């Protein structure tokens, strides 16, 4: 799922760089000392419609400041290689946008970030205008590595009608989750559809979403890998039980898990918030296919609830796995012009930027000092969807929308709070967690899966230290 951003287009590095577009406004109504300068911006929002939206925002920026922007859409999977090549050739971009946390950490270890610029932007816009959890995820030992932009969360979607009929509570705890999965598994109907694909980071993300709520951490603050801890052993056990007994057998992918839930064949699915527009019948190539959905494409959405945080027996509270994306300024950047650009994208251009995919872009800047809720309130009015456009509030009930609005303040990740964020890149690339989870789907014990993941991550950590 490429860090759960489902609809990105894979393109070749040469094509992407060759497709760079120079954008300049017809006028420069806002004169600055940087007027006439040009900056290069790489953006991971590389779908054609999102590129066009970005171009329009940039036109407004150029008209206001006189700064020209060379936009280069890039694919997330290629960013590390593109950065390495650009760093060697001295052709790093000035700014990078929609960058996930793992890549932010990778670039920091390579000393390619202008952290002073990131700190300047946060200060200029107002530290208090950002969601605290977003700021923390972009910080390391007091340094502001990048500027928080937006986030999505991994959520558990469940069939409210089936839960009510069976007298089940919403699956907010490990115990309630497993009980529901067992109760609602019968014949060709499954209690849950859960990722077991060894070749996709989506599987690792799904595991982490359950692990965080049980205080199962990738590593401790001393750098010790802790995937065989008591808390993690419990999480491995739950995941293995769900995958082996209550989820479809065989390799379950980002696409098959969604398809099974959409067909009405599973009572729960663990997926990212990017599922929300599709579940609401707003994307033609991923429509719900349940029998009731034929006459009402929104039937499944109306009968689905969401859980944003699940608590395990070892956890003190439920936790929400989230992927925050950020704006970063590189060490080779024209700092002044780059800072102005990032500030514009998080102010004048922010709601248009979030509007590309509001179901996966929850604002990490809630407003301005003068209007503290300008962007969080504005988000509610953005229309989601690909082929059909609707506000999420027109599809989902008030309780669901209220739960979604809490997502930005709840997002968490492992490794980063412990000062071990550098592990995220290798773990996402080499997929030791996904591979261990897949082994349980094939019958391996939770203990063996935990040991396998522990050993693999320790080896990755050793390579980082060389």
Q: Is the dihedral of CA 265, 267, 271, 274 positive or negative?
A: positive
- Predicted pLDDT at 388: 95
Counting Cβ atoms within 10 Å, is residue 96 exposed (0-12), middle (13-18) or buried (19+)? Answer: buried
- Predicted pLDDT at 33: 83
DSSP secondary-structure letter at 30? S
Q: Using CA atoms, how far apart are residues 260 and 252, in angstroms rounded to an integer?
A: 10
β-pairing, 390-391 with 304-307? unpaired
Q: Using CA atoms, how far apart are residues 436 and 218, in angstroms rounded to an integer?
A: 14
Q: Using CA atoms, how far apart are residues 267 and 371, in angstroms rounded to an integer?
A: 41
Q: What residue has token string 């925050």? A: 324
Q: Provide block-wise average pLDDT over 10 residues at a time, the chain (466 residues).
A: 40 40 47 84 97 98 98 93 94 98 96 98 99 97 98 98 99 99 98 98 98 98 98 98 97 98 99 98 97 96 97 96 98 97 99 97 98 96 95 93 91 96 96 98 94 98 92
Q: Using CA atoms, how far apart are residues 102 and 345, in angstroms rounded to an integer?
A: 22
Instruction: Indicate the domain borders of the chain.
Output: 38-151+324-393, 153-321+411-465
Q: Is 152 helix (H, G, I), strand (E, B) or coil?
A: strand
- Token code pair at residue 391: 């506000």
Q: Using CA atoms, how far apart are residues 252 and 200, in angstroms rounded to an integer?
A: 10
Element (H, E) at 239: helix 230-241
153-321+411-465 CATH pick, 3.50.50.60, 3.40.190.10, 3.40.190.80, 3.40.50.10860: 3.40.190.10
The model's pTM is 0.91
- Note whether 184 and 397 are within 8 A (CB): no
| Helices (H), ranges, 66-190 | 79-89, 101-109, 115-125, 132-137, 160-166, 174-183
DSSP secondary-structure letter at 291? G
Q: How many CA atoms lie less than 13 Å away from 312 in the CB half-sphere?
A: 25
Query: Do the domains spanning 38-151+324-393 and 153-321+411-465 agree at the CATH topology level?
Result: yes
Integer CA distances (angstroms), 237 to 193, 241, 384, 412, 446, in order: 16, 6, 37, 22, 5
Q: Using CA atoms, how far apart are residues 393 and 387, in angstroms rounded to an integer?
A: 18
- Note whether 110 and 90 are within 8 A (CB): no
CATH 3.10.129.10 fits 38-151+324-393, yes or no: no
Secondary structure, 3-state, 153-183: EEEEEEEHHHHHHHCCCCCCEHHHHHHHHHH
Q: What residue has token string 């120079």? A: 22
Nearest to 166 by CA among 150, 183, 148, 149: 183
Phi and psi at residue 421, in whole multiples of 5°? -60, -20
- Predicted pLDDT at 5: 42
Integer CA distances (angstroms), 94 to 32, 124, 430, in order: 18, 19, 28
Burial 21-38 (b: 16+ CB within 10 A, else e): eebbbeebebeeebeebb
Q: Is 281 helix (H, G, I), strand (E, B) or coil?
A: coil
Q: Where are the beta strands (DSSP E) in 297-431?
A: 304-307, 320-329, 362-363, 383-384, 390-391, 411-412
- Token code pair at residue 269: 């699915």
Nearest to 408 by CA among 281, 285, 322, 346: 322
Counting Cβ atoms within 10 Å, is residue 59 exposed (0-12), middle (13-18) or buried (19+)? Answer: middle
């Amino acid at each position: 799922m490429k860090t759960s951003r489902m609809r990105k287009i894979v393109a070749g590095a040469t094509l992407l760089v060759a497709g760079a577009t120079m954008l300049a406004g017809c006028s420069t109504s806002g004169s600055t000392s940087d007027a006439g300068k040009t900056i290069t911006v790489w953006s991971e929002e590389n779908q054609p419609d999102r590129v066009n939206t970005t171009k329009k925002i940039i036109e407004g920026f150029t008209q206001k400041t006189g700064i020209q922007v060379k936009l280069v859409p890039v694919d997330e999977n290629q960013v590390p290689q593109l950065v390495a090549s650009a760093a060697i050739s001295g052709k790093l971009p000035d700014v990078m946008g929609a960058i996930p946390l793992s890549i932010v950490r990778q670039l920091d270890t390579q000393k390619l970030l202008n952290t002073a610029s990131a700190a300047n932007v946060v200060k200029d816009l107002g530290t208090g205008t950002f969601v605290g959890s977003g700021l923390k995820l972009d910080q390391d030992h007091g340094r502001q590595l990048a500027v928080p932009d937006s986030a999505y969360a991994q959520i558990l979607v469940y069939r409210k009608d089936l839960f009510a009929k069976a007298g089940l509570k919403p699956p907010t705890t490990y115990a309630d989750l497993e009980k529901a999965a067992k109760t609602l598994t019968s014949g060709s109907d499954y209690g849950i559809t859960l990722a077991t694909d060894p070749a996709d980071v989506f599987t690792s993300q799904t595991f982490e979403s359950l692990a965080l709520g049980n205080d199962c951490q990738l590593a401790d603050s001393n750098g010790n890998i802790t995937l065989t801890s008591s808390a993690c052993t419990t999480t491995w056990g739950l995941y293995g039980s769900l995958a082996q007994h209550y989820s479809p057998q065989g390799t379950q992918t980002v696409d098959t898990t969604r398809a099974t839930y959409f067909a009405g064949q599973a009572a729960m699915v663990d997926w990212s918030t990017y599922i929300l527009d599709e579940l609401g019948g707003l994307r033609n190539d991923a429509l719900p296919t349940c029998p009731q959905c034929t006459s009402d494409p929104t039937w499944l959405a109306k009968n689905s609830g969401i859980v944003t945080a699940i608590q395990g027996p070892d956890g003190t509270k439920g936790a929400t796995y989230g992927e925050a994306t950020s704006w970063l300024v590189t060490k080779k950047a024209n700092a002044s012009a780059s800072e102005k650009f990032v500030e514009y994208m998080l102010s004048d251009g922010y709601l248009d930027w979030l509007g590309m995919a509001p179901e996966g872009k929850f604002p990490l800047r809630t407003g301005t000092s003068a209007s503290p809720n300008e962007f969080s309130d504005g988000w509610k009015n953005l229309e989601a969807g690909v082929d059909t456009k609707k506000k999420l509030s027109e599809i989902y009930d008030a309780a669901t929308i209220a739960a979604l609005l809490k997502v930005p303040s709840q997002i968490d990740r492992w490794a980063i709070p412990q000062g071990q964020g550098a592990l995220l890149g290798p773990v996402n690339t080499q997929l030791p967690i996904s591979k261990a989870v897949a082994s349980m789907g094939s019958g391996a014990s939770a203990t063996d899966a935990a040991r396998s993941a522990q050993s693999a991550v320790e080896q990755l950590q050793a390579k980082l230290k060389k």
